[in-house]
């Protein structure tokens, strides 16, 4: 496990399955965390002195996110990085009956929230560089049947990550993206009862990859799109 003592990281979508796993791994490594979430009831963490809950904010609004980041800096004295775990999944998007709503939903949940968080984070990056980790998905690397809107929204996150990595590399900041396949969550087990969840990726495994990317050990890694596919 990486040693993150005295570091502070913000996590968007903190009440989701992956957000909770990232929170647990970072707190266990000694980091402080700011939990940004639309939910009014962010997750409970065993070491509350190292956690700042920022519930109820609009995660598509850079100004609202910036206010939460400033609160984190004020509480912990620094802000070292950002993890954007918020997102959503829906199939479809290419049938005439789908209309625009599914595209708007996927682009808002997966792309707009990532753009807004990065826009808020860039002017608040530390002089030493800082870290940004986004969350893509395997379908973002290639189109998949029935997943037009979702695949396109996640593909946009990948190109965004690469672009921001190029923009920030002279400042010493790193920007990387993890690409999970199907994550082993209660919702996915419920929605796919005939699948084999042992082939899926546990959220904590993804969280440990994210923790590595936030650490000093990954200081020379930027612009990377890292598959975390499990046995799928």
Catalytic residues: 150
Cβ atoms within 10 Å of 223's Cβ, excluding its own: 16
Beta carbons of 134 and 155 less than 8 angstroms apart: no
- Maximum distance among all Cα pairs of the chain, rounded to whole angstroms: 52
- Alpha helices by DSSP H, listed for the chain, are 17-28, 62-76, 101-106, 113-121, 148-168, 186-191, 203-214
Location of structure tokens 């560089």: 129
SS3 at position 61: coil
Q: How far apart are CA 99 and CA 92, in angstroms?
A: 10
Pairing of strands 81-84, 51-55: unpaired
Provide the b/e sequence for 184-214 (b: ≥16 CB within 10 Å): bbeebeeeeeeeebeebbbbebbbbbbbbbb
């Amino acid at each position: 496990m990486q040693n993150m003592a005295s570091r502070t990281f913000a996590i968007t979508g903190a009440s989701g399955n992956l957000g909770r796993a990232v929170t647990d791994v970072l707190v266990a490594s000694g980091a402080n965390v700011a939990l940004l979430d639309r939910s009014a009831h962010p997750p409970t963490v065993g070491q509350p002195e190292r956690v700042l809950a920022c519930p109820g904010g609009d995660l598509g609004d850079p100004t609202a996110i910036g206010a939460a980041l400033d609160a984190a800096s004020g509480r912990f004295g620094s802000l070292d990085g950002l993890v954007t775990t918020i997102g959503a999944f829906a199939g479809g998007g290419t049938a005439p009956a789908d209309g625009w709503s599914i595209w708007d939903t996927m682009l808002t949940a997966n792309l707009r929230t990532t753009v807004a968080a990065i826009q808020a984070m860039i002017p608040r990056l530390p002089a030493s560089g800082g870290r940004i980790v986004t969350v893509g998905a395997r379908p973002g690397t290639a189109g998949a049947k029935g997943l037009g809107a979702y695949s396109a929204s996640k593909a946009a996150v990948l190109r965004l990550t690469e672009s921001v990595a190029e923009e920030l590399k002279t400042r010493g900041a790193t920007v990387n993206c993890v690409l999970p396949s199907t994550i082993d969550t209660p919702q996915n087990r419920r929605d796919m009862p005939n699948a084999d969840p042992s082939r899926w990726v546990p959220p904590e495994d993804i969280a440990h990859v994210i923790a590595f990317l936030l650490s000093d050990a990954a200081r020379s890694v930027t612009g990377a799109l890292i598959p975390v596919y499990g046995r799928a």
